[in-house]
Structure 1
Amino acid sequence: MRFFCTAGRGTEIFACQEVCKEFNLCNDLVPKSEGRVYFEGNVNQVEKILQLKTVERAFALVLHVDSNKYKELDRATFLNNLRTDILNEDSWKNGDLRSVIEYLKSRQSSTLQREAIPVNGEGPPCKKIKQERKLSFRVSCRCSGVLGRKVTAQLLAKQIGIKLSQLMRWNVNFKDPEIEICIQVNDVHVSVGIPLTRVPLSKRDYVKCHGLRGPVTWIMSNLLETKNQSVILDPMCGKATILLEAAKHIEGVFCIGCDISDDQLKSAQENIYFGKVHDRLQLIKADCRALPLTNESVDGIVCDTPFGKKYSVKESSTTFHASLLQEMYRVLKKNGTVVLLVSEEMHHIIKNAGNIYQPFVQSGQNQIIQGQEDCIQLNKDIEKHCLDPSDQSKQSLGKQTDTTNINFSDSLVSDIKNSWEKSLLPLLPQNRSSPLPKKLHAHATEKPRQSDTSSSVVKDSKLMNKCDELTSSVNRYCEDVKCDDLERGVTDLSSALEQFKHVSDHYIKLGETNSYIVVLRSCG
């Protein structure tokens, strides 16, 4: 009998490793694809399958076909062949599959029997029809890609449900079925599976207030590779789901969770007592950058760092992570392990710790150079469009364009000048020259002239738009880039990372967010 488990993107490798370890299988016998791990077993191993920690859901595999078989077929032929393959009698009446189905049916039989037995033994005896009832089922389909456009999920579910009921003599039950038939049709494969349990394995029954998904918490706690009598710290524990996983399944460890939020600590306390690990997990209200712990007092640190979406920090991300890593290094024992869940941007910085400042410097210099070029071009436009009324040829040129009589020495030019001199000028090297062109500088400092026909300055409306765009870009750049803070934060983060050795990193996808699990080791 073949089974398969679904796993989050990036966690398939951990699911494959756990399956191989738990069932003593070789890696070659456990193929994996995007989001799935396939392996062989029997009905006696179902309970063991349901104990897997790195998977989302577990299924008995009825059919798995490569989609290339159907791609060149027209819609009618495709539907006919698809129904034939899914309703293959040999697959559904296979002895091992029937054993699994009977096992799933028996899991609910005790509940039904209790409902049939009268209270205090009074009343009529149980009807025999209850003992020999037909199996109830429903079909759910998911269709996507090119093949998904050839058939709708509703049509396929209806047709398979009717034929399967006739073939297996089962009863259709949409509301509360004993088993569910899950059909998936996409451009990679067509598969049919039966879930081994209604509740996803990723939803831990010992967690009351759910936070980070169960498989991710399990993976992070196991990457610590802790030994007996170890102390594990989470400086930003939140609901303490990672520490709960460690305290529940890693023998001989003591966990410490810190958080600054009273609400989060309250949820964490509920999880601790609900999971019955209050003797192995202690909570402390504290700032992660000033932990009330002595130097070199913990063996391992695990932390889900803020991504700046649901939870954010006041300072820049680089400054915050620099302070966090410095404090981690202080309380961590020599050669201790740190497991961090970080955003894609922070992973890039940690991965390139030796050269993390240069990209910021180069980016800033490029923007300054571009700004200087814009100012030079603006100066040329000013010389071209600011016309002297005494010059009849230029005046005739000005009449050919959409012009207005305005005084150029207005607040617009002053805004540009102030933005460059106050915000961008300090970013240039020491031997810098003012990025503000002399012509523009002269216009910005001269006194306004009287607006009359003999001394007016003619300016094209396009030039006004160009000035507006330049001012907006300058102001936007000055708001987004705080050079001094950036330099200090990046430098501090680089220094903090030098105290750790990069061990490994693992890509995972949380919903629609790309993230990484980074493993570091304190330099002894």
Structure 2
Amino acid sequence: MTEPRSEGGLLCYYCTAGKGMEPFLMEEVKRKLAAENVRQIPGKVLFSSPMTIDRVSELKAAERLFLLVKQEPPVRLSAHTNPGATKAASVLQSRLLGDKNQWTRAALTWSRLQGELEQKKNRITSREEEDEQGMETRKRTGEQREEENGNRSLGTRAQTVEKKRKREKEEREVNVYLSDDHCLLGIPLTRLPLANRSYIKTTGLRSTVAWAMASLAQIQVLRHTTAAVFFIYSATCFLGMDIDDGQLQKANDNVEFAELGNRIHLLKASSVVLPLPSGSVDAVVCDLPFGRKFGTKTDMAAKLPAIVNEMERVLSIGGTLVLLLSPQLSYLLKELLAQKHTGPTSNQGTNFQIHYGVQPSYTRETDELCHGPLPPLSSLKHQATLRVSLGAIDGLIHKYVKIVA
């Protein structure tokens, strides 16, 4: 039987995405998967790709991945049809179930993809076992190794057969999405969401949002943020900073868990006194605490001007600043940057004077930065502001590039 493919032999998928993450996901599938027929509906991105399921399942901006069974126009019931009547249920059943052969082909494709994912998982497990037993194995004789390898191969095949039997007995989940504008049916391809990162031990910021911020930064060299979350990217030098010992400990656990201690360095430092030379950093990525998931005693509205100025100071010309802010801090930052053209109003000046009257608990140098005159922010050129969902509240991602003032 043929499999559910679009024109050109491409498999059809769709992914769910958090609010505001759809543009990032659309760009990612085009760039990584050579995707075609890419389209967006609220909370979902549909596409076709020739890539293997191994590649498709590595998407970073997606929440869940589905094999697309069918996409239909929205179900319309006649005005004379009682929604609670048997006829209405029959119309829905007919539209949703459709052709039996279509579902058979979809089930066969799903089973094949599950097998490919299982092979990938087995390869990873085998590599981990080989690494753990490498030293011990090298001490054994060739005959012992052959016997052990044979037993291991038999064990792996037995596990594969057992898992295949379990898959055949399992009831398959089908995702049905109905709205006034769309009708989608799909089968989930992974048990856990793609947003679950196997290389992160302790999560803080939502992984998809963290990835979006990192992708906006383009060159990942410095990460200053709530340290429980971090990005894994190729970089010459990667620094993570936080003033809180607890967050630094979580970040250190993540670094050790990912075995990246030789590439990621953690420092305890205040965001208004970064221990870096001026113009020494290519990118700064920061999510300021909102006081929700990670509490803070610091008045972020009062500190924001000094924090942004310090990040601007360490950035090199052409460097990128990416900030994740609450709606309130986002509005305040826009007001601050607008002052480079109009100058602060008397009311704004009064508000900041009141905020700065609160004594911080850091150092005298920090205190002087908060009370002293703030340099102009004219070297930061705005590139984009994007609203994303953080669960209970929304956050706004700001991107700036440092230019010659």
- Bin of the TM-score, shorter chain as denominator length: 0.7 to 0.9
Aligned match of 2:249? 266
| 1:79 is the counterpart of 2:89 | yes
Query: Out of 44, 48, 55, which is 1:48 matched to?
Result: 55
- Find the counterpart in structure 2 of residue 309 from structure 1: 292
- 2:271 aligned residue (285, 288, 307): 288
1: distance between equivalents of 2:344 and 2:90?
61
Q: How does 1:259-408 map to 2 (within 5 A)?
A: 259-314=242-297, 316-352=299-335, 353-354=337-338, 361=347
The structural deviation recorded for 1:46 is: 1.6
Tell me, what secondary structure is at the counterpart of 1:211? coil
Q: CA RMSD in A?
A: 3.7
Spell out structure 1 runs of 4+ moving beyond 6 A.
118-122, 129-132, 356-360, 487-494
| SS of residue paired to 2:199 | coil
How far did residue 36 of structure 1 move? 0.7
Q: Please list the CA deviations of residues 332-373 of structure 1 after superposition, one character each: whole Å capped at 9, or x if unmatched.
A: 2122111000111222222343269879939x9xxxxxxxxx
Is the contact between residue 341 and residue 516 of structure 1 (CA under 8 Å) also seen in structure 2? Answer: yes
Q: Structure 1 pair 70/106, CA: closer, same or farther in 2 (3 Å)?
A: farther
The structure richer in helix per residue is 1
Which runs of no fewer than 5 residues in structure 2 stay unpaired? Answer: 6-11, 123-149, 359-369
Change beyond 3 A, Cα 1:307–1:130: closer
Q: 1:495 to 1:312 in 2, by over 3 A?
A: farther
Q: CA deviation at 1:134?
A: 8.2
Task: Give 5+ residue unaligned stretches, structure 1.
Answer: 112-117, 137-170, 365-426, 428-481
**Residues 134-157 of structure 1: CA deviation (Å, up to 9, x unaligned):** 854xxxxxxxxxxxxxxxxxxxxx
Larger radius of gyration: 1
Counting only pairs closer than 5 Å after superposition, residues 74-153 of structure 1 correspond to structure 2 as 74-75=82-83, 76-88=86-98, 89-94=100-105, 98-105=108-115, 107=117, 133=165, 136=168
Paired letter, 1:225: Q
Residue 51 (structure 2) pairs with residue 57 (structure 1) = no
SS at 1:341 equivalent: strand
Offset, 1:81: 1.6
Shift of 1:290: 1.3
Specify the code of the residue in structure 2 equivalent to 1:99: T
| 2:26 corresponds to 1:37 | no
1:132-281, aligned counterparts within 5 Å? 133=165, 136=168, 171=169, 173=170, 177=171, 179-226=172-219, 232-239=221-228, 241-242=229-230, 245=231, 248=232, 250-281=233-264
Q: CA deviation at 1:282?
A: 0.1
Structure 1 length normalisation: TM-score? Answer: 0.58
The answer to whether the Cα contact below 8 Å between 1:3 and 1:38 also exists between their aligned partners in 2 is yes
Indicate conservation of the 8 Å contact 2:302/2:352, yes or no: no
Checking the alignment, whether the CA contact within 8 Å between 1:14 and 1:54 is kept in structure 2 is yes
Contact in 1 for aligned 2:380/2:403 (Cα 8 Å): yes
Q: In 2, Cα distance between the equivalents of 1:223 and 1:321?
A: 21
Distance 2:39 2:285 in 1: 30
User: Is 1:9 matched with 2:16?
Assistant: no
1:350 alignment partner, SS class: helix
Q: Percent identity?
A: 27
Q: CA deviation at 1:97?
A: 5.2
SS at match of 2:62: coil
Partner of 2:362: none
Q: Deviations over 1:450-471 (max 9, x none)?
A: xxxxxxxxxxxxxxxxxxxxxx
CA distance in 2, matches of 1:273, 1:87: 49
Structure 2 residue matching 1:85: 3-state secondary structure: helix
Q: TM-score scaled to structure 2, two decimals?
A: 0.74
- Residue aligned with 1:31, SS: strand
Distance 1:209 1:291 in 2: 25
1:506–1:516 Cα contact (<8 Å) kept? yes
Number of aligned residues? 345
Q: Distance in 2 between matches of 1:305 and 1:290?
A: 15
Could you tell me which residue of structure 1 aligns to residue 354 of structure 2?
A: 485
Query: Structure 1 pair 182/492, CA: closer, same or farther in 2 (3 Å)?
Result: farther
Given that residues 325 and 496 in structure 1 are in contact (C-alpha distance below 8 angstroms), is that contact kept between their aligned partners in structure 2? no
In structure 1, how many angstroms separate the alpha carbons of the residues matched to 2:268 and 2:163?
56
Shift of 1:30: 0.4
Distance change >3 Å, CA 24–CA 107, structure 1 → 2: closer
Contact kept? 1:302, 1:338, Cα under 8 Å: yes
